Chain A
Amino acid sequence: QVQLVESGGGVVQPGRSLRLSCSASGFTFSTYGMHWVRQAPGKGLEWVAVISFDGSNIYYADSVKGRFTISRDNSKNTLYLQMNSLRAEDTAVYYCAKKTPGTQYAPPDYWGQGTLVTVSS
C-alpha cells in the first residue's frame, strides 16, 4: 500500500532554513509526480509545489517562489522541500502527496500524515 512519511519539521527562527523529507513506499516512486501542500493552524489547504517524475518540471506557489526548492532522489524514493528565508507565515503542517495517475499535472491521490513547521523567534 502507498505510504508517505514526512520528516524534518520543527521550530525554526525567522530567516533560517529547514529541509523537509518525504519517504515513499508501496509504489514506483520514480514514475510519479509529487506535491507539497501546507496548512496553517486553523486555516485551509494551500498548494506549495509540484515536481514531475524525473524532476525536469517544477512549479511553485507565488508565496514560496524563490525561497523554497522542491527536489527528489529517485534512488532513495525520497521527496524534499528545502525552505529558506523562513517567515512566520510559513508556519504550517506540510504534507507530501503523490500525484494521481494520468494527466501530467494531476492532483494528489495519496497523502502523508504531515510534519509541523513552526517559524518563531
Chain B
Amino acid sequence: DIQMTQSPSSLSASVGDRVTITCRASQGISNYLAWFQQKPGKAPKSLIYAASSLQSGVPSKFSGSGSGTDFTLTISSLQPEDFATYYCQQYDSFPFTFGPGTKVDIK
C-alpha cells in the first residue's frame, strides 16, 4: 500500500498568513492527489483533485502543486473560516490512502 505522510502535523497561524502544507507519498503517484478540509464535527470538504485542480466552488486562495511523491497545499491568505484539519489522499492505486492530517489553528 502507498503510505502518505504530511508535515507539519499541526501549525499555528494568524489571519492573513500564507500557509503551506506538505504531503509526501511513499512511491510515485503522478498527480493522483487530492486535498480535503475538515472542521470539527463536520463532514470533509473536497478542495483539490489531480494535485492542482480546484473542486467546484472552492476559492482561489487554495492552490495545490506537485507531482510524483511531493505535493503542497497553499492557502494564500488565511481567513477565520480556514482554521481546520487538512488531509491529502492518493488515488493512484488501491487501496486509496489518506495522510494523517494537518491541523491549522489560530496563533
Contact = CB atoms under 8 A, between A and B. Distances in A.
B56 to A, nearest CB: 7
- The B interface is mostly helix, strand or loop, or mixed, namely loop
Categorize the interface residue count of chain B: 20 to 34
Contact of A109 (B55, B94, B97, B98): B55
Given A47-B89, A100-B49, A59 B95 contact: yes
Interface in B85-103: 87, 89, 91, 94-101
A66 to B, nearest CB: 14
Interface string A27-49: 00000000001000000111100
A111 B46 contact: yes
Contacts of A55: none
Given A45-B36, A59-B95, A105-B91, A111 B43 contact: yes
Nearest to B1: A62
Contacts of A108: 34, 36, 44, 46
Contact of A113 (B43, B55, B95): B43
Interface in B69-107: 87, 89, 91, 94-101
B39 interface: no
Nearest to A63: B95
A109 B96 contact: no
Interface residues of A, number: 23
Nearest to B99: A44
Q: Among A47, A95, A113, find the residue whose CB has the most chain B CB atoms closer than 10 A.
A: A47
B95 A61 contact: yes
Contact of A106 (B36, B44, B49): B49
6 contacts: A46-B98, A47-B97, A47-B98, A100-B49, A105-B91, A109-B49
